[in-house]
Structure 1
Amino acid sequence: MARFVRSPWILLLPSVVLMLALFGWPLLQAIIVAFTDDDGVTLSHWQRLIDDPYFLRALRNTLLLIVIVVPIQLVLSVGMALLMQARPRFAGVHFYLWCVPLAISELAAGLVWLSVFDNRGYLNSLLVSLGLSEHGVQWLGYDSPTTMLLAVVVAEVWRATALMFVIVVAGVQMIPRDYDEAAQVFGASLWQRLRHVTLPLLAPSLQVALILRTILALQAFAVAQALTGRDFPLLVGETYEWYVNLQNPAVASAVALVVLVVSLGTAVLYLRTVRTSEDAR
């Protein structure tokens, strides 16, 4: 009997060892590097990070990007998934077109949108040709943080909405049509069916989509780097800056730990707020 009790743990052992090797040991190393120096335990690396003028801007920009981008992508992905559920003509073509951005790297997407928002890019050329602007708009100017944020948001929404869309589509396809048809029989409107039938049954998929997308939004770097450089700093960009350009792994580890804490906090928040009907009972 004891052998059968222990067997699941034996089967899980390779996965546990792999996870510890890939995540546990690097995490431990990052904590040691961030909190120690040649004299022992210290907070000097954290003090240097906090004193850096880019850090608070990077933290603010990263959180602002999450607050703006993730809800927009959630609404778009749910709407696109419901449209696919209605099975319009050429539904397969729609699906593949919406998933095209998944095949494009972050840096390539950033360069594409740079050609749009650049001072001599396609958008300014269009505005000038239509007579809506005389010399175009400085979308990516250092003194225009609002338009820089807008450019990064548009690029991120275009690039990564497909990821949430694929997850939500899988969740929608798992919902039996009987529930929606029964609600229609009882006279429920489209909004009532969406609110009381579809979204509660989609809760597990929405949890996965929100957690994964938020973590990836925290890791956003290449798009913003291609569009704005360090004029619009993000946390992962600061990790790269401290590690590669400033040659300071200790402060880079501190920034990485900040990203980890924010990721864990948002994941716990989603798990507590987006509940399935079974969890609520």
Structure 2
Amino acid sequence: MPGGVRPRGPLWLITPSLIFLTALFAWPLVAGIGQALTGPGGFTLANVRRMLDDPYFWPAARNTALLIVVLIPLQFALAIAMALLLRARPRFAGVYFYIWVIPLAISDLAAGLVWLAVFTDRGYLNSALAHLQIDGYAWLSYQHPVTMFLAVVVAELWRSTSLVFVIVVAGMQSIPRDYDEAAAVFGASYWQRLRKVILPQLRPSLQVALILRTILALETFAVAQALTGRNLPLLVGETYQWYSVLQNPNVATAIALVILALSMLAAFGYLRALREPGGQP
């Protein structure tokens, strides 16, 4: 452009998106920060201190972190294994696909209630054990925190692995089979082809799936609430408790901001860790 003036056309084109994102994200974020850091007398850190002093906050943070550490690797291992099975084109591959994605159509609370019917004291699991002449077990008792946690892991594994599976299947469909076949011709074993050919090309799909699943795992609530109530506190559950039960939206917002910060840190970490060598994320 003459005189070094840049055209304003592109700016006008993205203006509606900027307005939409500001209204959808930026303004609620500013309002949330203001609510968490204000009180009757103006600016205060009392809500943050009350959040940190709450006896449920740190167990909730620990349980949420532990859920992510245990759940995410299991989900990705299962999703990749199922996607590789479909890539091999077995008989009835389409049937397998639709069966595996059924949990996507089930709400979080409904999934929690389904697994509550399995793990409750008179549920299907204890009934099956009774048929085998084995005494039942209080899987969801507050006295057994390990089995409570495992019940939530199993329920979340069943409910949300299908999301990772769909993303991985979509990523595998974009990988040309020629690469895999060429590696096989040159003597590469199946595991070598998986590590050196398939998984590197799945990097963008795995990146998206990791970000989504970590954020959604941080927001796990309905399944745990249906199975354990507050016996297994999680961060989103504490947000609900402070907002709806204790009627304190300021502290609830402070916990929500912690979840937001953890989500953003996780997304940034995945983008850094899984970016192309020598390139952009």
Same fold (TM over 0.5): yes
The answer to whether the Cα contact below 8 Å between 1:200 and 1:276 also exists between their aligned partners in 2 is: no
Amino acid at match of 2:164: M
The answer to whether the Cα contact below 8 Å between 1:201 and 1:277 also exists between their aligned partners in 2 is: no
Q: What is the count of residue pairs matched by the alignment?
A: 279
The answer to whether the Cα contact below 8 Å between 1:109 and 1:159 also exists between their aligned partners in 2 is: yes
Equivalent residue for 2:31? 29
Structure 1 residues 102 and 270, CA, compared in 2 at 3 Å: closer, same or farther? Answer: same
1:6-155 alignment, distance < 5 Å: 6-131=8-133, 133-134=134-135, 136-155=136-155
Equivalent residue for 1:228? 228
Question: Normalization by structure 1: what TM-score?
Answer: 0.96
Query: 1:189 and 2:224 equivalent?
Result: no
Task: Compare the two structures and name the one with the higher helix fraction.
Answer: 1
Describe the superposition over 1:186-232 as per-residue Cα deviations: whole angstroms up to 9, x where unpaired. Answer: 10011110111111100000000000011011111000000000101
Describe the superposition over 1:119-151 as per-residue Cα deviations: whole angstroms up to 9, x where unpaired. Answer: 0000011111112x32x1110001111000000
Query: 1:164 and 2:164 equivalent?
Result: yes
Structure 1 residues 3 and 242, CA, compared in 2 at 3 Å: closer, same or farther? Answer: same
Amino acid at match of 2:126: N
CA distance in 1, matches of 2:249, 2:191: 52
Deviates more, 1:11-20 or 1:170-179: 11-20
Equivalent residue for 2:177? 177
Q: Give the SS at the match of 1:230.
A: coil
CA distance in 2, matches of 1:280, 1:27: 28
CA distance in 2, matches of 1:5, 1:180: 46
Structure 1 residues 6 and 248, CA, compared in 2 at 3 Å: closer, same or farther? Answer: same
Amino acid at match of 1:165: F
Q: Give the SS at the match of 2:275.
A: coil
Deviation at 1:155, TM superposition (A): 0.1
The answer to whether the Cα contact below 8 Å between 1:242 and 1:248 also exists between their aligned partners in 2 is: yes
Deviation at 1:277, TM superposition (A): 5.2
CA distance in 2, matches of 1:253, 1:280: 34
Q: Give the SS at the match of 1:79.
A: helix
Deviation at 1:153, TM superposition (A): 0.1
Equivalent residue for 2:217? 217
Segments of structure 2 that go 5 or more residues without pairing to the other structure are none
Deviation at 1:6, TM superposition (A): 2.6
Equivalent residue for 1:258? 258
Deviation at 1:3, TM superposition (A): 8.8
Question: Normalization by structure 2: what TM-score?
Answer: 0.96
CA distance in 2, matches of 1:280, 1:217: 26
**CA RMSD for the aligned pairs?**
1.5
CA distance in 2, matches of 1:143, 1:37: 38
Equivalent residue for 1:205? 205
CA distance in 2, matches of 1:87, 1:197: 18
The answer to whether the Cα contact below 8 Å between 1:204 and 1:276 also exists between their aligned partners in 2 is: no
Amino acid at match of 1:213: R
Q: Give the SS at the match of 2:244.
A: helix
Amino acid at match of 1:15: S
